[in-house]
Structure 1
């Protein structure tokens, strides 16, 4: 007899709750109807435990968080609604088994309680990513315990394996459960939405939901990284965990509704395991291996040198010195260079030089790649095992020229602000920097310059090189 009774993707817009929406919720009535359908279905299934994965609990960069006290409570007062409250018992037996299983498998996870969260100035409570889906379930059924999970940016492999452990624990405990992946889709569907419009938003939602409907795992785990990053979504990682709970079988998704009138995509879906076997984990391992090969052999000489210099440093403990075999453009040109490291779409280190400090662009890349890995004070030092999951970009800075505010364009030009010995730089075409005012404000803040002061402005162009391009 199966232990996982149902698998669901549910969104979490607070506005869908009438006490918050005050009429606006009618614009997403299809979403509401679909969520009510899931609530009614779960009431028929009568699970002992609901395992819910949310993006909006306390998130750790290096471990999946499992909320672990006797119960967890919350309300929606942050959204002007304090009368909707929840206090739900936690399935601690499941938590302990899951935490132990993850430890044995080397999957980073942590049991989280009030004492731990106090150290991070945070509270142990239900978040809206959990409360909104549970609002629809509690209408029909509340005889359950909760396993409340906040995903981490560990990457699809560890998230998928974590899902596999959920399935194993449910089987070991003979616990009847349902899985809910809480997540909204792109937040960039409209200019008037919470983020500025991006054509990647609609593209992501269509590809994501289409792949889930077809059970196309290869597409789900090979989505274009630029599209995923630009879409500004919070559902993909929840779904990676959900998919892990279905390891060993093919699946199909049934789309119950999709809407986006507020500029955010809301997808509601239920999943069904097929009888046909499929070892998805083997496919993931193959995909990861192929991506690494592409990073090492393909692309451009700029990012390839940055990666080779990091591999050399971790292997030898010293900087690469022999650069005689580099292409001429890396040996004969001198420019400032920024090297950026991203891990699963999140910045992991970035160090650069405004003007050249070495004899060539190649030497500049080698130096700054190591600095980005080990000397960016915002992040812990990079470990060598992380290299497989790192994406590298190299920005080569052209000479800066004096400029006025009217000459700037944050998508095309980087900016340098100077006041006396204080100097701040901001690269062009950065996520979330859409106006000249935002660009100057951030650059001034980095330099310790009051934006009301009179300061000098320079602009520059960059040539940006990314892995795989």
Structure 2
């Protein structure tokens, strides 16, 4: 008999709770009915432990967080609701086994408690990403312990492997559990939603739910990166872990409800393992390797030089010296260059020069690629092991020109603000920077310049080269 009794995807909109919605919850009645259905089903299953994965508790960028005290409590007071409270017992034996398994498998995870989180000025508590789904469970059943997990940006394969470890620990302990992946889908379905509208929002929701319904794990893990980034969602990483816990068999999903009434996608789904044995992990790793090799082989000259230089640096402890083999455009032209490193879609390092500081663009790329990896003060040094997970982009800056505020366009132009010896720069077309005011504010903050004071403004265009 299976130790994992049920697999569920549930959203976490506080407004679905009548004490918070105050009538507005009726606009997402299908979501409420579907969540109640899951609550009743879990009551019938009577699990000993509920494993819940959330995006909204204390999150570390480099390790999955597993809450690890005897109990964990929280409420919804941040949503002006003080009477919805939870105080849950934690399955610490499960935690210890899971933490040990992750350590042995090299999956970054950490057991967290109040003492640790206090060092980061973060509270040890239940979050709404946990409380809202469990609200629908506790109406019908509360004789369970909890394993409270906050996912991390450690990459989809690692998250999938973490899910596999959950499954194996449940089997080792002979623990009857259910798993809830808590996550909302796109937050960009409507102009009046919490974020600005994006056509990618609805496309992401439709594609993700279709993939899960069909049990197409490979398609779920290989959705368009730009679409995922633009969708503004918080559920995909929870899904990766959920699917990992289902490794070994074919998968199918039953969509119980989907609504986007408030500009956010709320998907409620029940998943099941069935049919033939299936090794998805092997397929995912193979496809990931193929993608990486394709990316490297198809890279343009600029990002290829940056990657070759980083590989050389980690192999030889120094930069590439002989660049005479490079094409003329990299040897003759002189421009400022920024090199940006992203890991799993998140910035890992970015260093650049506004004006050229070396003999040519090639030298500039070589210099700044190492600076971005080793000397960006915002991040620890990049390790050689990380290079396979890093995407590189190179921005070549054209000459800056003075301009007025209204002549800026954050998508087309970068901006330089200066006041005396202080200077701040922001590249163009950055995620989340959509308005001139935002662009100027960030540039001023970087240069320690008073946004409301007097400063000079220059704009510049860039030629951006990316690994695709």
If the length of structure 2 is used for normalisation, what is the TM-score? 0.99
- Aligned pairs for 1:58-457 within 5 A: 58-457=58-457
2-structure distance, mates of 1:150, 1:406:
42
Deviation at 1:50, TM superposition (A): 0.3
2-structure distance, mates of 1:22, 1:91:
35
1-structure distance, mates of 2:261, 2:324:
57
1-structure distance, mates of 2:321, 2:222:
36
2-structure distance, mates of 1:323, 1:251:
51
Q: 2:462 matched to which residue of 1?
A: 462
State the SS of the aligned residue for 2:275.
strand
Deviation at 1:400, TM superposition (A): 0.6
Deviation at 1:26, TM superposition (A): 1.3
**Could you list the runs of 5+ residues in structure 2 that have no partner in the other structure?**
none
Q: 2:26 matched to which residue of 1?
A: 26
Deviation at 1:381, TM superposition (A): 0.4
CA RMSD of aligned residues (A): 0.9
Count of matched residue pairs = 468
Deviation at 1:295, TM superposition (A): 2.5
State the SS of the aligned residue for 1:193.
coil
Deviation at 1:327, TM superposition (A): 2.2
Deviation at 1:107, TM superposition (A): 1.1
1-structure distance, mates of 2:364, 2:200:
33
Deviation at 1:262, TM superposition (A): 1.3
Deviation at 1:294, TM superposition (A): 1.8
State the SS of the aligned residue for 1:154.
coil
Deviation at 1:208, TM superposition (A): 0.9
Conserved? CA contact 1:295–1:304, under 8 Å: no
2-structure distance, mates of 1:193, 1:464:
31
Query: Over residues 413-442 of structure 1, what are the superposed CA-to-partner deviations in whole Å (9 max), with x where a residue is unaligned?
Result: 111111111111111111111111111111
Conserved? CA contact 1:151–1:238, under 8 Å: yes
State the SS of the aligned residue for 1:270.
strand
Runs ≥4 residues deviating over 2 A: none
2-structure distance, mates of 1:203, 1:299:
28
Conserved? CA contact 1:185–1:264, under 8 Å: yes
Deviation at 1:144, TM superposition (A): 0.6
Conserved? CA contact 1:306–1:392, under 8 Å: yes
2-structure distance, mates of 1:100, 1:452:
53
Deviation at 1:328, TM superposition (A): 2.1
2-structure distance, mates of 1:140, 1:275:
31
2-structure distance, mates of 1:29, 1:324:
67
Conserved? CA contact 1:10–1:269, under 8 Å: yes
Deviation at 1:299, TM superposition (A): 2.5
2-structure distance, mates of 1:301, 1:238:
37
**Could you list the runs of 5+ residues in structure 1 that have no partner in the other structure?**
none
**Greater mean alpha carbon deviation, residues 321-330 or residues 253-262:** 321-330
